[in-house]
Amino acid sequence: MNIKKVLSIVVFFILATLLVGGGLTFKARWSRTHKCPSIDNRLSSPSESEPTTPSEVNFSETGNIINWDSKTEAHTEKWHLLYEKPGAPAIKVNLIFDGESSYEKLSDEDNGRRAHVEGIKKGDDVKVVKLILSSG
pTM: 0.58
User: What pLDDT is attached to residue 70?
Assistant: 82
If one counts the domains in the chain, the total is 2
Q: Does 39 fall in a domain?
A: no
Q: Does 44 fall in a domain?
A: no
Q: For the chain, what is the HEC assignment?
A: CCHHHHHHHHHHHHHHHHHHHCHHHHHHHHHHHHCCCCCCCCCCCCCCCCCCCCCCCCEEEEEEEEEEECCCCEEEEEEEEEECCCCCCCEEEEEECCCCCECCCCCHHHCCCEEEEEEEEECCEEEEEEEEECCC
Do residues 82 and 30 share a domain?
Answer: no
With a cut of 50, list the residues of the chain below it in pLDDT.
22-51
User: What pLDDT is attached to residue 135?
Assistant: 80
Q: Does 27 fall in a domain?
A: yes
Structural domain boundaries enclosing 22: 3-34
User: What pLDDT is attached to residue 58?
Assistant: 94
